[in-house]
Chains A and B, each alone.
Chain A
């Protein structure tokens, strides 16, 4: 079995003021992902190492970290795919570090509900009338934007969020578009104030890195550009036909 050196970011605020990198040499199996290597370190080499993980199968979105400078889910990033001398593991960038590889995700969790990521109806229908039915074509329109697992890799890849943390960010905005495109939803106008605010879609300069790192192919950059078009058209309609826009 081959060996690999992992260079792991350490930050222990209770005992040290500065962060550092610790090196661990692990003998790994061919089917090991980076998360397996981290669990091996914690179990056999250094029990003080802290990191988040849960499902181990790319669903929960909790094991996102920087692997050799790229945001990645460590549960689906294989050790064998790296031929570098060391694999450098760091916490997701652009978020405050609580300890070692654990970040504070409060900012993301606070922003997510601001885009009203749920079905909004003008009038609540009687549940007795049955479910809202959709055709496969109607589902196809929003499905890719509904695959987000809130792993925050897109926030870590986005330099706009890194430079200005007031930006609502890729995942939350993609979720807004997911509901705007849903044929059962009537909340397009209700989301306008938040989505079109300065911290919303217009803050995005379309770097596109969010889409590149998304493990679920959600394409947040595309969602944001679609939001820009739809809300710009709304504005233009309101400008040309103010009465029509009100009705």
Chain B
């Protein structure tokens, strides 16, 4: 069990890294894009705005 836990933690650390908020933000932004794409409104703009905000917030947290 501890090996499985270590493996899961290693995968988490490899993919998500040290800022889980950015990963969670990406998932939320993709979900929002999918939700808007289901309507008649254009949804392509969601990810660029989200990426810019997530990167800036992540950098600001690191700098402070």
B is a partner of A = no
List the interface of chain B (C-beta within 8 A of A): none
Q: A: which residues have CB within 8 A of B? A: none
